[in-house]
Amino acid sequence: MSFDFADQAPKFMMLLWGLVGFAVVVGGLLVLLDVVPAHFSRRREAALVAASASGAPLPRRTKPREGLFALFFLLPTVLLLLIGLVVPAVRTTLLSFMDGGSQNWVGLDNYRWMFAEDAILRVLLNTLLWVTLVPLVATSIGLLYAVLVDKARLEAVAKSLIFMPMAISFVGAAIIWRFVYAYRGEGEDQIGLLNQIVVSLGGEPRQWLLDSPLNTLLLIVIMVWIQAGFAMVVLSAAIKAIPADIVEAARLDGVSPWQMFWQITLPSIRSALIVVVVTISIATLKVFDIVRTATNGNYDTSVIANEMYNQAFRYGENGQGSALAVFLFVLVVPIVIFQIRNLRRQRREG
C-alpha cells in the first residue's frame, strides 16, 4: 500500500527534457530570427558609414527579406504537417490497395471485402445509424434546452450542467453509462439505474448491452449525452445574437411563443445550426472510444473507426484497415463540402 515516487523519476526526467526541448526550439527560433537580421543590418550600416566617408557610391539598399522570415515562422508547422499528416495520408491511400503485410498490390480487393463481408456491412450500417441519429437528437435537445433556459433564472448554472459532459473523456462517459446499464439477475437488487427503473415499473431486468440493435442505440445515447452540451452552447449564443428589435416587433404583433420559435428564432440561427450539425456529424463518424470501452465492438456494435483499429493494429491487416480509413475520409468530404458551400452562400447574402 505504498507508492514509490522513485519509480516515477524517469518519467519526470522525460517531461523535463520535453519542456527543455520546447524552450530551446521555440526560444531558439525567435532569438535566431532576432539576432541574424540585426547582425546584417549592423553590417549594412557599417558599410554605409564607410561608403559615405570614402565618398564611394552608396550601396543599394537591399529589400528586407520577408520570405526568409516567413520560411522560419512556418518551418516547424509545415514540416510536422508533412511528416505527420500529408505523407502518411498518401501512404495510407496506397496501402489500402495492398495486402495485409503491405507487400503486394491487390487492386480493389480490400474495398470489395468491405462491402462483401457481412460483419463489415453491419459495421457500415451501424456507422450510418450513429451519424444520422447523433447529430439529429443532440442538436434537437441542445436547441430545446437553449430556448428553454434563455433568460431564465440560474441560466448559467443550468447551462453548465448540460455542458459538463464535454469535459469528460469518452472513456469516462462510457464507464458512467455502463454503470447506468449494469445488470443484476432477476430477484437481486439492481445496481444499474435503468434496470432499477424497469423493475420498479414491473418489468424484467435486461442485459442491455447484449441485444442488437438496442445496444447500438444505447451507445448512441452516450454520444448524444456528450454532444448536446456543445450544441446548446453554440445555439444559445446564436439565439442571443438575434437582434432585439426583431423579437420585440414580433412580440408586439402578438406572435405566440410557438410561432416565434418557428418563424423568428429558427431562421435566424440557421447557419449556427448547420455548423453544429456538421461538427457533430464529423465527430460521430470518427467515434471510437465509446464503442471500444463499452462493448469492445462485440454484440454487433462495432463502427468504422473501431473496426479500422482492429484490422490495422490487432489483426495486422494493414490493407483492410487502411481501406476503412480511406472510406472514413470519403464519408467526411461531402459533409465538409456542404458546409463550405453554405458558408460561401452566407457570405454572399450577408
Partner 1 sequence: MTTTTPPVAAGTQDTSGRSTRVSRVRKRLSGRTATLVTIVIAVVWTIPTFGLFVSSFRPEAQLKTTGWWTFFSDPQFTLQNYQDVLFGRSSNSGQLAGYFINSLVITLPSVLFPIAFAALAAYALAWINFRGRDWIYISIFALQIVPLQMALVPLLSFFSRGVSLGGVTLMPAWNLDGAQNFAQVWFAHTCFALPFAVYLLHNFIAQLPKDLMEAARVDGATHPKIFRTIILPLITPALAALGIFQFLWVWNDLLVALIFAGGSDVTAPLTVRLAEMAGTRGNEWQRLTAGAFVSIVVPLIVFLSLQRYFVRGLLSGSVKG
Window contacting partner 1 (CB under 8 A); options: 53-61, 105-113, 125-133, 332-340: 332-340
Q: How far is the CB of 234 from partner 1 (least distance, A)?
A: 6
Beta bridge partners of 98: 105
Q: Does 180 bind partner 1 (CB under 8 A)?
A: yes
Q: Please, which of residues 20-79 interact with partner 1 by CB under 8 A?
A: 21-22, 26, 29-30, 33-34, 37-38, 66-67, 69-70, 73-74, 76-78
Could you give the CA distance from residue 245 to residue 60 in angstroms, rounded to a whole number? 62
Are 256 and 272 contacting, i.e. CB atoms less than 8 angstroms apart? Answer: no
According to CB under 8 A, which one of 163, 261, 299, 338 is a site residue for partner 1? 163
Q: Which is nearer to partner 1, 57 or 185 (CB)?
A: 185
Could you give the CA distance from residue 268 to residue 71 in angstroms, rounded to a whole number? 43
Q: DSSP state, 265?
A: I
Give the type of residue at 213.
P
Q: How far is the CB of 202 from partner 1 (least distance, A)?
A: 17
Binding mask of the shown chain, residues 192 to 221, with x at each position contacting partner 1 by CB under 8 A: xx--x-------------------------
Q: Which is nearer to partner 1, 56 or 169 (CB)?
A: 169
Q: Which is nearer to partner 1, 9 or 56 (CB)?
A: 9
Question: Which region, left, alpha or beta, applies to residue 59 given φ > 0 means left and ψ of -120 to 50 means alpha?
Answer: beta
Could you give the CA distance from residue 19 to residue 17 in angstroms, rounded to a whole number? 5
Looking up cell 504537417 gives 81
Distances (CA, A) of 204 to 127, 181, 192, 210, 295: 30, 13, 13, 15, 22
Q: Please, which of residues 81-120 interact with partner 1 by CB under 8 A?
A: 81, 83-89, 91-93, 95
Window contacting partner 1 (CB under 8 A); options: 47-55, 116-124, 126-134, 224-232: 224-232
Q: How far is the CB of 119 from partner 1 (least distance, A)?
A: 19
**What proportions of the chain, in percent to the nearest 5, are helix, strand and coil?**
75, 0, 25
Q: Which is nearer to partner 1, 55 or 202 (CB)?
A: 202
- How many CB atoms within 10 Å of residue 209? 21
What cell numbers appear for 118 in the block?
A: 457481412
Q: How far is the CB of 304 from partner 1 (least distance, A)?
A: 8
Are 213 and 299 contacting, i.e. CB atoms less than 8 angstroms apart? Answer: no
Q: How far is the CB of 56 from partner 1 (least distance, A)?
A: 25
Are 265 and 241 contacting, i.e. CB atoms less than 8 angstroms apart? Answer: no
HSE (CB half, 13 Å, CA atoms) of 158?
15
Q: Which is nearer to partner 1, 36 or 56 (CB)?
A: 36
Are 143 and 236 contacting, i.e. CB atoms less than 8 angstroms apart? Answer: no
Could you give the CA distance from residue 334 to residue 327 in angstroms, rounded to a whole number? 12
Q: How far is the CB of 21 from partner 1 (least distance, A)?
A: 8
Q: How far is the CB of 260 from partner 1 (least distance, A)?
A: 12
Beta bridge partners of 105: 98
Q: Please, which of residues 114-143 interact with partner 1 by CB under 8 A?
A: 141
Q: How far is the CB of 90 from partner 1 (least distance, A)?
A: 8
Q: Does 245 bind partner 1 (CB under 8 A)?
A: no
According to CB under 8 A, which one of 6, 57, 118, 189 is a site residue for partner 1? 189
Q: How far is the CB of 163 from partner 1 (least distance, A)?
A: 8
Size of the site for partner 1 (CB under 8 A): 118
Q: ω into residue 243 within 30 of 0, thus cis?
A: no
Binding mask of the shown chain, residues 264 to 303, with x at each position contacting partner 1 by CB under 8 A: -----------x--xx--xx-xx-xx--xxx-x-------
According to CB under 8 A, which one of 131, 239, 303, 326 is a site residue for partner 1? 326
